[in-house]
Chains A and B, each alone.
Chain A
Amino acid sequence: MADTALVTLTLLFVAAAAGAAVLTRDPARQAVVLSLLGLGLALLFTVLQAPDVGLSQLGVGAAVTPLMILLTVRKVRRRRKRDG
C-alpha cells in the first residue's frame, strides 16, 4: 500500500516537473526546474528499486547537467552584455 502510494506520488512529481521544465522558457530558470526533475527521477528510481540508477541520476541530473546549462547561459549572456 505504502509502496503503491510512493510510486504514484513520485510518478506524479516527475510528470509535473517535466511539464514545468518544458513550460519554463527562460533557460536559467529551466535549469532549476530540470534539477528538480533530476531529483524526482532519482527518487522514482529508488522506489522502483533501482538505487544504482538513482545514484547516477543524482550526479548527472541534479548536478552536472544543470551546471552545464547554467554555464552556457552565462556565456551567452556575457556576450550579449559586451555587445550591448
Chain B
Amino acid sequence: MVRLLPLIVAVPLLGAALLVALGRHVRRAVAETAGCACAAGSAALAVGALVLTHGTAVTWAGDWRPHHGAGVGIVLVGDRVGLGLAALTSLLVVAVLAYSWRYFEEPPRGHAGAFPALVLLFQAGMCGFALTGDLFDAFVFFELMGAVGYALTGYRVEEPRPVQGALTFGFLNSLGGYASLLGIGLLYARTGELGMAQTGRRLDAAGGPDALVTGAFVLLVTGLLVKAAAVPFHFWLPDAHTVAPTPVSMLLSGVMVELGVYGVARVHTTVFAGPGGIPAAHFRRTLLVLGVASALTGAVMCWQQRHLKRLLAFSTVAHTGLFLTGLALMSDGATAGVCLYVLGHAGTKAALFAVTGILLDRYGSVDEHQLHGRGRGAWRLGLLFALGGLALAGLPPFGTALGKALVEEQADWLPLLFVPVSAVTGGAVLRVAAGVFLGAGPVPEERPGRQETAGDEEKPETGGLLRWLPAPMITVAVLLLAGALAVGTIPGLAEGTATAAAAFGDHAGYLAAVLDAHHSTPAAEGEWWTGPGVALGLLSAALAVALAVPAVRRLLPSGGWTGPLRRLHSGHVGDYVAWTVAGIGLLSALTWW
C-alpha cells in the first residue's frame, strides 16, 4: 500500500493528460465522467492509505532509499496529517467536479475536457504538496498548484474582473514562490540537503541558528504565507476568490489556502523546530502577530462587504488567521484543534460558496443589495446558507465549533480572539441570509463614492439564468455541510486527529521515521466536547445572530472608520508587491529580535 502513495499524484496527472490528448474526440459528458473517475480514484487511494496504514507511511520515489541517513532521492511522507489533507483535497475535488457538472455553458472549442483536466492538475499539485517530504519537490508542487490556479481563476476570460484577479494572484504567488526558492537555496548552501528531514538533521548537527538560518526561514515561509494569505501577504486572495468560477473558489478557499498554513507548520516542525532551527519563542511570536492581524483584518473586511464571494473570501482570511494563531501555540492539543477546524471549515466554506454560485446562476447577481428579498421562494437554499453561517460562527456540533473549542482550551485569552472573529464572519453571512432569503429589513441604499466592489456585474456561469435549482449543485452543498457536521460528531475522527497532531509536531519522530525507518507512535488522548467549549461555541453563534439582526435593520454604524483599511485593498498589483516585500521585512524583524 505504501508504495502506491505516488499514485495519489499520478492518477490525476494521467487523467489530465488523457483528457487533453483525446479532448478533441470525446464528448463532454465522457470527459467529465472520466475527470470525476480519476479524482475519485485518487481520493480512494488517499482514504485507503489513511485507513490501511498506521503511523507514518514513508516511500522513496524511484526506490532511492537512503543509507545511513544519506540518500539522493525524493521521499513521500504519508503521515496522518499529510494523508488527511490529500484525502480532504481529493474528496473536495470530487465534490467540485460533481458540482460543476455541465456547469459552464460551453467548454473551449475542441477542448471538452479542459476544465476537468485543469482541476485534476490542481488536485495533483495540492496532493503532491501535502505528501512530499522534500523542500524542492514541495516548491515544484507549489508552483504546479499556482500555475493551474491562475488559469482556473481567469477561466471566464470574457469578463474583465476574473482576468485581473487571476493576474494579481499570479504575480504575488510567483513572487512568493521565488522567495521560497531563495530560502531553499540558502538552506542547501548550509546543509547540502534538500529533504526536509535531512536538512533538519544537518541543521541540528551544526549547532545553534545564525543569520543564514533565520534568513532561509523567513524567505521560505514567505511563499507559504502568501499561499496562506496571512496579512500582509493576503491581498491577492479576496481579488482572486471574488472572481474565480465558483467551483474554483470552493477549492481555493476550502483547501489551497489551508495548504499554505500546513506548509508553514510542516516546514517548521521538520526543518526548523530542532536545536539548530528557529528558537521556539521567535516562531511563536511571528506566527501570533501574523495570525492575530489576519484574523482581525479578515473579520473587519468581511463585515464590510456586499459582494458575497468577496465576503466569503475575507472570512477565509480571518479563519486562516485563527489557524495560524492556533499553530503558534505549538501544542499537540492546539494542532489537533486546528486540524479539525480546517476540516470543518473546508466543508462549510465550500458549501457557502456552492450556495452563492447557485444564487449567481439563478438570479444573475451576488450583490447583497441587489439580491435583497429576491431569494424568498428558495427556502432550502436559504436554510443551507444560514446553517453555513452558523457553522462558520462556530455553532456546536459543527466541526468548526469542535476545532475552535479545542484550540480555545489551550490558553485563557484565546476566546477573546476566536469568539469575536468567528462571530463577525458568521454574522456577516447571517446578515446576508436574512436580507436575501427573508427580505428582512429595509432595502439597503446605495452609498455613492464609497470604494467597494459590488457584486451586481457578475455574470452567471451557466450560460443563461437557471429556472430551477439543479439537483447536483444542491446535493453537493448539502453533502459538504453534512461533512462539516460529521467532523464535529464522529468521535473516531477527533481521536485520529489527536494522534495525527502529536506525530505532526514531533520533530525528532519525523526525522527518525523518514531517515531511519524507526517508527514510534506518540500516545495522544483525543479531546472531545467539553462544557466550556460548547458554551463558547453557543456564545459565538449567539453573538453572530445578535450582530446580524441589528445589521439587517440598519441599526449599526456604517463603519466609516474602516475606510483606510479598505483603501489599502486597492486592487493594484504594484501596491500588493510593495506590501509583500514589506511583509518580508516584517517577518525578518519578528524572527530576528
A contacting B, Cβ–Cβ less than 8 Å: no
Binding site for A on B (CB under 8 A): none
